[in-house]
Each structure stands twice: as C-alpha cells, then as structure tokens.
C-alpha cells in the first residue's frame, strides 16, 4: 500500500503528456521499481492515420494585465492545454476568453484539455483556468506569453512480463499519461505494478503482462506494430482504471463476455461480498478496451468509474483511498489465484468431431421430445458444455467453462478428462 501511495505522490504533479520530459522521468522512475521493457515508436511511425505527437514541454505560460501577473499556467500540469502552440502578444478580453477553458461542473476546478494530442494538425494556444478566474476578468488589454519547447516525439510504452509455463499471457493494461491527476490512469498503473510485484518468484501456468501506455494511441501502436504471432500470445486482459477513488468498483465485461479472467474477477467479487456492479462491454466506460478488442484480444475493465473529480485538478491524491487501491490489488491477486488453481484446457482439434463415434463416446444426448424423452437439467447443462468445447478458440480454464455452462467444476473436469483421454484436448 505504501509503495502505491509513494508512486502517486511522486508522479501525480508531473506534466505527463504523451511525449514530454516529464513522461520520460515517469518511465525512468517506474523502471527502478520493476524491470520494464521499454518499447519505442519514432515520430515517423504513422499508423492507421494516427500521428505521434511532438515532444512538448512548457517553459513559460503567463497572463498579465497592466504589468501585473494574473495567471501562471505552470502552477499546475493542467494549467496549459496539452500541446498548446507558443504565443507572445497582446489580446483583448474577448480574444483571451476564446483561448481559456474552464470546467462547467465546478467554479474552482481546472479542467483537462487533451484533444490536441490526438489532432496535432489542429493546434492553438490556450490555458485551462477556473470558472471563477474566467468570470472575474475585466475588459482591457492583456499580455499573453506561452513559451514551449518542441522536438520529434517518440511514443514510449512500458511492458513487464511475468513468464509462466505457457507463453499465452493475461494482460493488465493502464494509462500512464494524463498530466497532473492521480486517479485517472495513474491509480490503475500503481495497482498493476503492485499486482505484478506480488507475482515475483511465483510459478504460474499463464504468463502475465503489465502494459502501461498513453491513452488509445499507445495501445494502438503497441498492438498494431506486433506480428500476428505476437498478438496471438495475448490471450485476454483487464484494463485497470481509476481504482483509487471512494466510489463503487465496476467490472465491465469483454465484448463477448467469455474471458477467463473476467469470470475469475466476478467470482472473487461475489465471494468477498465487495460492493460492485457489473456491466456489458462499453456500458460503464469507453477507453482502450475497444482498441484491444478490435485487435482480437478480449479486454475487460476494472474501475471505480464514474467519480466526481474526473478530468479536472480535483482528481488529486487527497481523493485517493489507499485502502481502495489495496482492495483492488487483493481482488486481482485472488482472481489470478483462481485462474491458476483451475485446470487449463488446450484444444487439440479443429472443426466438429463426431462425438457419438464409439472411439470417442462423448456425445451428450439431449433426447427427442417427439418420442417422449425428458431432458433433465443436468443433462441440458452437460450438453451446453459439450457444445462449448469445439467453439474454444483460445486456452480456457475448467472454472470458466463451469461458469458458462452451469456444470459444477468437478464434473467439468471429469468430462474434460474423457476428452483428454481421446486426444482431443490437453489438461494442465
């Protein structure tokens, strides 16, 4: 718990825009905690229309009137809009207000203006201020100075792998950018780091990865630049988001709702009687999950979204509950233990096998209603299980098959053992 809070205290104030000196400082800091692999994508690496933003740092950002300093945009990492253009000149009140952005929810909050990082071809200068400041401005002439330093950007992703017996990996992802805030992005990063630290020295069946990226664009480059064989080893995952606020936990399912890890998390949440809610894909939050799903990797989400301080400077360490971070890690660790304690099912055939053939004898007869057969509930569930096995396109756990079919796990293992004896699956 202490390490997670220490990381938040150190990194929250930094101006962690996608490519920046503070982002590089963040990477170096975290590499001293876990031996992350650093993956870099140069400025020239345009991908699917995505453009890597320039490396951008703010040197000065001032608003003055009659020689008096009214606002210093460097007092908070959100004080200048991300990737603001440089500007030095005099403007009237109307012109100034056209370049000021305030939070419409609060009078005293500084909002997060992030869109220019994704649209580097449409850039203007600007500040983020409180509504109180905005409303208090009087007519007259203002001097604005925004001095930035730019160079070719390098998109940098951190990846840490806990190697298991299988190369197939469960991925935990989180956003490492989002300047000046604690819960959005960074709290998910520290939960992921603590989880992988707890796995150090443990032998596991699955491999486990922690991938820390810039929102949306980082995930797209990370996945899009992989070979198909590399992507095939990423079995499924969970995006870790906004896990420090004092709001209810929310588990958002993958697109098809069939992931091993999401079933394990749901089981742990229920057993621990943790206050939570569960929703289908994109019903709770829309973030990097859709990027992973569109690359064929089922991605659930564990978050505490929504929370009141989202996307403004009120999202700070004073609103982080250390016990909430620890609770999230405990749940994820228990979910990993749940996966690891269950048999893994590796399918060794393709297509559909004639299961009634005597050399297999695995067919579950549903009965024929026209002839007066009565299908018992357990028989119906076994039939569901039978039909699930040929449809498996990735490694699954016996426990997830039990959850999906309604058949108790010991009976699932017993039935799968017969498939294994027939050479159709491998159990580990």
Going by their DSSP bridges, the two strands 396-397 and 344-347 should be labelled as antiparallel
Task: State the pTM of this model.
Answer: 0.94
Domain with residues 2-50+154-341, CATH architecture? 3-Layer(aba) Sandwich (3.40)
Query: Using a CB cutoff of 8 Å and minimum separation of 24, what contacts does 354-360 make?
Result: 355/386, 359/422, 360/422, 360/424
At 43 the pLDDT is: 94
Domain spans of the chain, in order of start:
2-50+154-341, 55-149, 344-427
Going by their DSSP bridges, the two strands 276-279 and 234-241 should be labelled as unpaired
> Do 2-50+154-341 and 55-149 share a fold?
no
Scanning the structure block, which residue is given the tokens 């076994």? Answer: 382
At 379 the pLDDT is: 82
What CATH superfamily is the domain 55-149?
A: Domain of unknown function DUF2172 (3.50.30.90)
Helices and strands (DSSP H and E) totals, the chain? 13, 17
Cβ atoms within 10 Å of 414's Cβ, excluding its own: 12
SS3 78: coil
Q: In what order do the strands lie in the sheet with 396-397?
A: 396-397, 344-347, 425-427
SS3 263: helix
At 144 the pLDDT is: 98
β partners of residue 207: 169
Task: Please work out, in degrees rounded to the nearest 5, the angle formed at the alpha carbon of residue 251 by the alpha carbons of 245 and 257.
Answer: 165
Give 305's DSSP letter: -
Rounded to a whole number of angstroms, the distance between the first and last alpha carbons of the chain is 34
* Grouped pLDDT means (10 residues each) for the chain, 428 residues: 95 98 98 98 93 97 98 98 98 98 98 96 96 98 98 98 97 98 98 98 97 98 96 97 97 95 96 96 97 97 98 98 98 97 94 95 79 71 94 92 93 96 95
């Amino acid at each position: 718990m202490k390490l997670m809070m220490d990381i938040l205290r150190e990194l929250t104030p930094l101006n962690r825009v996608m490519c920046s000196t503070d982002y590089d400082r963040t990477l170096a800091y975290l590499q001293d905690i876990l031996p992350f692999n650093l993956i870099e994508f140069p400025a020239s690496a345009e991908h699917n229309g995505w453009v890597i933003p320039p490396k951008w740092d703010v040197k000065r950002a001032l608003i003055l009137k009659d020689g008096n300093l009214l606002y210093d945009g460097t007092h908070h990492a959100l004080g200048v809009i991300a990737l603001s253009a440089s500007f030095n000149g005099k403007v009237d009140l109307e012109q100034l207000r056209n370049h000021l952005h305030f939070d419409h929810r609060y009078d005293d909050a500084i909002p997060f203006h992030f869109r220019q990082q994704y649209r580097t071809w449409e850039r203007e200068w600007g500040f983020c201020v409180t509504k109180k400041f905005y409303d208090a401005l009087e007519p007259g002439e203002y001097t604005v100075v925004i001095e930035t330093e730019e160079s070719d950007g390098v998109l940098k992703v951190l990846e840490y792998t806990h190697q298991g017996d299988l190369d197939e990996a469960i991925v935990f992802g989180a956003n490492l950018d989002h300047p000046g805030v604690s819960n959005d992005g960074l709290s998910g990063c520290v939960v992921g780091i603590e989880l992988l630290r707890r796995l150090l020295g443990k032998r596991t069946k699955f491999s486990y990865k922690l991938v820390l990226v810039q929102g949306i664009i980082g995930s797209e480059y990370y996945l899009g630049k992989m070979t198909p064989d590399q992507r095939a080893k990423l079995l499924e995952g969970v995006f870790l988001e906004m896990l420090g606020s004092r709001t209810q936990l929310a588990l958002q399912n993958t697109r098809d709702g069939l992931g091993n890890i999401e079933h394990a998390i749901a089981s742990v949440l229920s057993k621990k009687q943790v206050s939570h809610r569960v929703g289908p894909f994109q019903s709770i939050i829309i973030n990097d999950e859709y990027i992973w799903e569109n690359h064929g990797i089922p991605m659930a989400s564990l978050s505490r979204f929504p929370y009141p301080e989202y996307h403004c400077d009120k999202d700070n360490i004073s609103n982080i509950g250390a016990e909430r971070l620890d609770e999230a890690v405990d749940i994820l660790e228990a979910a990993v233990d749940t996966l690891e304690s269950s048999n893994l099912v590796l399918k060794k055939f393709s297509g559909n096998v004639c299961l009634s053939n005597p050399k297999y004898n695995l067919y579950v007869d549903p009965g024929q209603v026209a002839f007066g057969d009565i299908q018992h509930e357990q028989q119906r569930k076994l039939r569901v299980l039978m039909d699930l096995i040929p449809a498996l396109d990735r490694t699954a756990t016996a426990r997830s098959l039990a959850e999906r079919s309604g058949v108790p796990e010991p009976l699932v293992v017993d039935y799968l053992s017969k498939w294994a004896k027939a050479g159709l699956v491998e159990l580990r």
